[in-house]
Structures are given as structure tokens and as C-alpha cells.
Amino acid sequence: MKNLKLKAARAAMDLSQQDLADKVGVSRQTINAIEKGDYNPTINLCRSICKVLNKTLDEIFWEDE
């Protein structure tokens, strides 16, 4: 499932995939894969992403049913 919340939060902060990747210590391809729903990140990576984006885990990674 695509993570449009991550993409929207990243865009709202005017960060490219590469910018976010650099801040959390992963490759741009990893961020791209998370946004496309092709990669399930570890909880530590989720927490790092949320910290950079100033969002909670629920705001970025909770799936609406």
C-alpha cells in the first residue's frame, strides 16, 4: 500500500526524497520504496522519519481502514 502520508509530509516540509534519506541515514531508493509501499521499514527507521518530519508514528504510518 502506498504511503501517501509520508510523501505529503515530506513535500510539506519541502524535502526531496534525497533530503529525507540523508537526514535519516538511508538511501533515496529506500525512501522511494517506502512511499511506493514496496518496503516495510523497521520501527527505528519509522521513528527517525517521524522525528525529521515532526509527526507521530500514527500520523505517518497508521493505515486508515
User: Does the pLDDT of residue 64 top 80, yes or no?
Assistant: no
Per-residue pLDDT tens digits for 14-37: 999 999 999 999 999 999 999 999
User: Does the pLDDT of residue 65 top 70, yes or no?
Assistant: no
- Spell out the residues 6+ positions from residue 33 whose beta carbon is closer than 8 angstroms to its own: 39
- At residue 63 the predicted structure's pLDDT band, cuts being 50, 70 and 90, is confident
* 8 Å CB contact between 9 and 55: yes
Domain spans of the chain, in order of start: 4-59
Per-residue pLDDT tens digits for 33-62: 999 999 999 999 999 999 999 999 999 999
User: Does the pLDDT of residue 6 top 90, yes or no?
Assistant: yes
The CATH class, in words, for 4-59 is mainly alpha
